[in-house]
Structure formats: C-alpha cells, structure tokens
Structure 1
Amino acid sequence: MALGTFSLICHPQTPAMGVKSVSVAWEARGDALMLRYRVDGAGGLVLPAPAAPERHDDLWKTTCFEMFLGQAGTTYREFNFSPSSRWATYAFADYREGGRDAEMTIAPAIVIRREGDAAICEVRLSRAILDGAVCAGLTAVIEEMGVDGKGGHKSYWALARGEGRPDFHKRSCFTLQLAAAEAP
C-alpha cells in the first residue's frame, strides 16, 4: 500500500546552497513502513561517517532525516534517522514537553546511497510504530559544504513551515493525515 511521495519545503530563513529539492516516498508494505528520502543537488551534502546501527542522541546536528507522528490530543513521537545508520526516537506529552527516550522494539534499517547528483536514504521501520498515529510530519536537516569548503551550512526542510524560525515540533508541521488503512 503506497501513501505517496511528498516534496519538502526549504524554510526561507535557511536557504540551501546547492540542494535543489528534498522529497520523501512513504510506502507501507506488509508489516514494514518504508521511507525513502531523496536529496537532489547533493554534490556538497555533508554525510556523517558510517557507524553502528544503534540509538544515539544529537543526530540533528548534521544531515538527518526525521519523522514526527502525532497522536490524538497533543502527544507525539519524534524519529531521527542518520545516514550513518544511527537512529533515535523520543516521546512528548505536548509541544516540546515531557521529552523522553521512546522505546523501539525493532530498530530501523537505514541505508544511504548516491545516484548521480542525488543522495537517497532508505529507512525501513516496523509498521507497528503507526499504531495510534493520526498525522505525520516529514522533515530533514540538510548540512552542506560552505563556500569555505567546510561543512556547517544547514537548511531545514518540512512538509509545512510554521512562522518564525524552523521548528519541526509544531503540530502545524504534521500535515500528513494518516488513514486508518495505514495503521497496522
């Protein structure tokens, strides 16, 4: 069952340098949820070094792909997927409140590859993570080489952007409504 492919919007306060677009393909297959993040114009993309596929904090400090799952009320979960193969997940009771490590019974499988001038990060998750979710936000932190040849230039991409600085935790960014058929 495919939900679709979604284009992310670059926040105007953080324009990209060489990246032309970021999109996410969402597909539910059997007991798996597949996310495929595609970065076009990725020649200057900074990727973290490969690492053991384990839970790790602060992944958003460099290129990182993310998903937020909103539940009824104000609770939500945040998922971070690093091209290094590390991951993290957090549970919140309300906007940035009660943040704590959330359990993942099955760790995500994360693979990054290049296709010409594109970088593609595929994430395979247990479809069970959708249980109770009513909406989703798909986001990306993209780090590129600066004009000085060093990393550090970041742009922030999301399905929708709120007012002010980039903030993926705002419920207004969770614009993807999940159909009951997407739940396990």
Structure 2
Amino acid sequence: MASYELNAFDRRFQSISLVGAIEQVSPYTLNVGYWLRDPNQLILYPDLVASHPRLDFLWEKTCFEIFIGVQGEDYYREINLSPSQAWQAYQFEEYRYPETMPPQVAYDIELNQLKRTHYGLNVSLDLTEFMLAHKLKWSDLFIGLTAVLETSQAQQFYAMQHSGQNADFHNKRDWLHIF
C-alpha cells in the first residue's frame, strides 16, 4: 500500500490534513482510503443516502476523487466519491474532453464498496471491464488522488500536488501513483 499526503491548493490553509492510500487487490480491484484530520470540525458533510446511487455533480460539495490515467494514452477515468455514499465514474477521451456537463458516465468501472468512516472514506473499485476492454495491466496505469472539501470557511481543493496556476485535478502531471 502506498500513501500520499494531499496538499491544499491554498497553501495558507493548514487547518485540515488529508492522506490518501492506494492498494491493488486481486487482479482488477483497487482499494483507496482517505484519512482526514479536521480538529476544528470545519468540513461540511452531505447527508447520507441509501444504496450507493450514481449521482452527478458530487464535486459541488465535499467529495473525494480518483483519476485513472493510462501510460501513453489520452483517455482517462474520473471517479467521484461522496461521504454521502453516492458515487459516479466519468470517462474522458483526452484532457477535459468531451466538455459536456455532467461529463459522460463510465460504466466500465463498478463500485464494490464505499464507506464513510470515523477517519475519512474507504472505497473498493472493480476495474475488470475497464482493464480488460483496453488490455491493460497495472503497470499501464497511474493514479491521482484529489478531494474537494467544503468547509465552513471556504471550499478547499486537495491533490497529490498542484503544478498549475489554478487547482486542476485533470492535470495528469499531478497524478503521481504508479504501480
């Protein structure tokens, strides 16, 4: 298991710390955990929902995200995970394309488990269809972990790194995990 400290785009914001961990389990299962430290309880959480529905625009509130890139390819996937237990997966052909809102849903990634915990969020994703359809091995993939945290002070954007002038989770340079 590899872990990464996610950093706030606003470097002055030090009130919340966030760590993400990535683990490959079985041939096509990806587990990701997010551990939050919010001693002042600034984070605003959406209400819980039942049965893990696929919902759009989860990033408008507190939302954890996983970006899956493929070495040498333009296409990628974005998975949004809400502490409400709703989720969604999107497919892009290249950087932020197609530009439709909401983005085009990806049905080649499935949710095994999504659970809000006392320390953050855990998710298990089934990448079988995505990896088999594109003939991918784990070594072909690279991962970016991000989060939008709605707080009582302002919305904060966390990522493995921020290499641009703006918070841009679609910037593949900031997806640091390789297998």
Question: What TM-score comes out, normalization by structure 1 length?
Answer: 0.80
Per-residue deviation, 1:128: 2.6
- SS of the counterpart of 1:12? coil
Change (3 A) 1:156 1:69: same
Q: Which of 134, 139, 155 is the equivalent residue of 2:141?
A: 134
1:121 and 2:121 matched = yes
- SS of the counterpart of 2:68? strand
1:69 and 2:68 matched = yes
Listed as ranges, the matches of 1:1-184 within 5 Å are 2=1, 4-12=2-10, 15-16=12-13, 18-19=15-16, 21-30=17-26, 32-41=29-38, 43-52=41-50, 53-71=52-70, 72-98=72-98, 99-104=103-108, 106-114=110-118, 119-128=119-128, 131=131, 132=136, 133-146=140-153, 153-177=154-178, 179=179
Counterpart contact for 2:78–2:89, Cα < 8 Å: yes
Counterpart contact for 2:108–2:127, Cα < 8 Å: no
Counterpart contact for 1:17–1:144, Cα < 8 Å: no
Counterpart contact for 1:140–1:156, Cα < 8 Å: yes
Change (3 A) 1:5 1:55: same
Per-residue deviation, 1:104: 4.2
Extract unaligned runs of 5+ from structure 2. Answer: none
**Structure 2 CA distance, aligned partners of 1:45 and 1:55?**
23
Change (3 A) 1:41 1:105: closer
Counterpart contact for 2:109–2:130, Cα < 8 Å: no
Per-residue deviation, 1:145: 1.4
Q: Tell me whether 82-91 or 24-33 shows the greater mean CA deviation.
A: 24-33
Change (3 A) 1:60 1:127: same
Q: Identity of aligned pairs, percent?
A: 26
Question: What TM-score comes out, normalization by structure 2 length?
Answer: 0.83
Extract unaligned runs of 5+ from structure 1. Answer: 147-152, 180-184
For the aligned residues, what is the CA RMSD?
A: 2.0
Aligned residues between the structures: 164
